[in-house]
Structure 1
Amino acid sequence: MEFEDRNPKPEHPNSTTPTAVLAILIVLVCVLLYVGWQMMSDESNSSSELAAEEMVVPKTTDSVVVDEDDMKDQKTEVSSPEVAKTEEKTSETVVSDAKVEEKKEEKISEPVAIKSETGKYTVKSGETFFGIANKFNVSASTMKKLNPGVDPEGIKVGVTKLTVPVQAVHTVGPGDILRVVASKYGISVEQLMAANGKTKNFSERGEKLLIPKKEKE
C-alpha cells in the first residue's frame, strides 16, 4: 500500500508526446528528401558541365587535308627521274650487249688461218703413196688433196714428186747434226731420216731437211 502511495499513476495520460515525435520524424524525412534531391541535382549539373566542357575543348592538333591527286602527282614526279635513270641504264646495257655480240660475230666470221708448210718429196725405190703419207704423219686423204693430179698406183721412182705437209723445211747450219735437228722439232732421229730418205746419220751444211709432223693428221 505504501508503494502504491509513492508512485501514483496519472489519471490522464500525456497526449502531446506522440504527436511531437511524429512531427519530428516527418521533418527529418523531409530534410532527408531535400538533401537527397540536392545531391542528385548537383551530380546531374556536374555531369552536364563536364559534357559541355568536352564539347567546347578545341583540338590541339590541326587536321591536314591532303588531296589524293596531289599525292599521286608528287609520287609521279619523284618516281619519274628514277624510271628515266633505270631506262637509261637498261638501254646502255642493251647497247653494250649488242656491241659484244657484234664483236663475237666478227671474230667468228673471220677465217682462221691455219699455218701449214709443204715440201716436195721425190719417190724413192720401194716406196708407195700410202707409205710416204705415213712417213710424214698425214692421212692418205690429205695426201690426195695435196696431189690431185697424181695416181696413187702410178707413182714412179725418181720421177714423181709429191707435195707433203711438214712442220718446216730446215736448212742445215754449222753444228747441225740430225740428233740436234730432230730434238729441236720434237721428233726422233729415225723419223727425220725416213722423211728425208737417209740411210746414214749424216747431213751436209746447206742441205734442206723436211721435218715431218709430230702427230698424224
Structure 2
Amino acid sequence: MEFSGENLSVSNKQYERILRSAKSFINNVSAELHHVAVPDDLYTLFQNIINYFDVRMIQAKFIEYSDIRYLEQISEELNSCLFEYFLQEQNWEKASRMISGEGIVPLMTIHKSKGLEFHTVFLIDLSDSSFWSYRDEPIEAKAALFVAISRAKENFFCTLSTTRHNRTQYKSLISEFYEVMMNSGLVDFIRFS
C-alpha cells in the first residue's frame, strides 16, 4: 500500500467534512433541546439522533439492538426518564448526569459485578442464609465471595445481622471466611448493638 500526499489530502478533506457535519449536528441538537416542551419533542430529537448515526450502523455495532423493537423500547424509556429528570432539575445537563448515573451508588448482585471494580464495596449480609448454597456447592460459593471481595479497589465492608425477621442469623457454614478475614490483620471488626 502506498500513501501519497494526494491520498492523504483526500482523507484529510473527508475527515474535515465529517468533523464539520458532526459539529453542526451537535449544535442543532443543542439548539433543539432548548425548545423541548413535552416528551414527544424529546422523542423526536432522539429519533433524529438515531437517524443521524443510522439505525443499521447502531445495530451492527451493538448486537443488543438488532431487534428494532428493543431499540424503540429503550429509546422510549430513556426519553421518559430524561424528561422526568429535566422536570425535576430544570436543567438538561443535570438531567443527563442523573440518567448516566453520575453520583449514583450502583446496587447489584455479586454476579452482576463480575469484571467491574469500585473504590468501595459493601456486601450486605454475609451470613449462612445468604450463602445457603455453600454446603452443597462450596467451590461456587467461594468463587462468588472472591468476586465480591475482589471488586473493591480500596475499601470492602460486609455486614452480618444477628437477627433478621425475628430469626437468628448464623455464620457457621461460612465461618472460614470470617476466620481468614480475622487472621489477615487487614480487617477491622466493628460490633453495633
TM-score range, shorter chain: under 0.3
Between structures 1 and 2, the one with greater helix share: 2
Greater relative contact order (Cα 8 A, min sep 6): structure 1 or 2?
Answer: 1
Q: Answer with 1 or 2: which has the greater Rg.
A: 1
